[in-house]
Structure 1
């Protein structure tokens, strides 16, 4: 047997409008006839209410931490672990709020670093590194043609043979360098 919305609001110490909003938002279940089962509704109200916004009486320490919905638990645990904070079996609302505040602070720090010019765009950096590597490669490929004649005269060997030997070794070295893959993480 359920009670009316107004009776449940008196029981909770809130306005009937607050109860109707909770029903509409799906935070409190209503029976098919429109009444409210106090036991079910109290449990749902406690699970879905932010303790920081509650005007309710102070609770015992064991009642302050309540489990939250499983949808965000993985993200909360990961954030807490990254910060070296405990993330046990059941995640509480306080832990979820802590993870949320950590994420907001991290995002604000990134925005500030971007505004200061301390962060760079990954795609732009990758394109720049690729362009610089290509210019370096082209410079090395052209180098044997520029210095082969000078080196050949110093060593007393044929210029064409010197250029071919230099080109072979430079290309082999450049092939080794292609194995280096820059990672920007």
Structure 2
């Protein structure tokens, strides 16, 4: 007495439909009671199966960028355990969907700021501040010279030199917009 069609299909790693087709095609022969003798069926399967007709298992290559994105997402969510399993990839996909949805909602609520617009705004503000500082010595140098009893032109030139020096030091500061 052998095993059932389904048990033999599990043993072979194929569907029970494939086993039925093999019996119908005469590639394997069942026992008189309809069960399958595993050793005999394996030998018949190997002998009577044309390898050229067999499908080769197709494995799609997963791009390294996709694996890196999954790993990064799993690390951000605190669920990384080393290698990437199918379940971890599904988890990462769901986390990414949730993050995307949250960002879309924040964008609709106008809680997010467009990075390029923010940088342009910071640049305009810095330019306006710089221009205000450059015009400041011309406005106050005469008053300061009168209070300190010094030559107005010399006061203006000195103030302007120090303001320009200070602004050039400030020019090295870059805004961090992340």
Q: Gapped runs of 5+ residues in structure 2?
A: 1-13, 20-50
Q: CA RMSD in A?
A: 2.4
* Paired position in structure 2 for 1:167: 160
User: Does the aligned pair in 2 maintain the 1:77–1:87 contact within 8 Å?
Assistant: no
- Match 1:76 to one of 50, 59, 70: 70
* Paired position in structure 1 for 2:176: 183
The answer to whether residue 65 in structure 2 is matched with residue 85 in structure 1 is no
Aligned-partner Cα distance in 1 for 2:146–2:138: 14
Q: Which runs of 4+ in 1 moved over 6 A?
A: none
- Match 1:10 to one of 1, 11, 17: 17
User: Does the aligned pair in 2 maintain the 1:80–1:99 contact within 8 Å?
Assistant: yes
- TM-score under structure 1 length normalisation: 0.64
* Paired position in structure 2 for 1:154: 147
* Paired position in structure 1 for 2:127: 134
Report which of the two structures shows the higher radius of gyration computed on alpha carbons: 2
The answer to whether residue 112 in structure 2 is matched with residue 119 in structure 1 is yes
Following TM superposition, by how much is the alpha carbon of 1:87 offset from its aligned partner in structure 2, in angstroms?
Answer: 3.0
Q: Gapped runs of 5+ residues in structure 1?
A: 1-6, 13-30, 49-68
- TM-score under structure 2 length normalisation: 0.66
Cα deviations by residue, 1:97-138 (Å, 9 ceiling, x for unpaired)? 000000000001111111111111111111111111111101
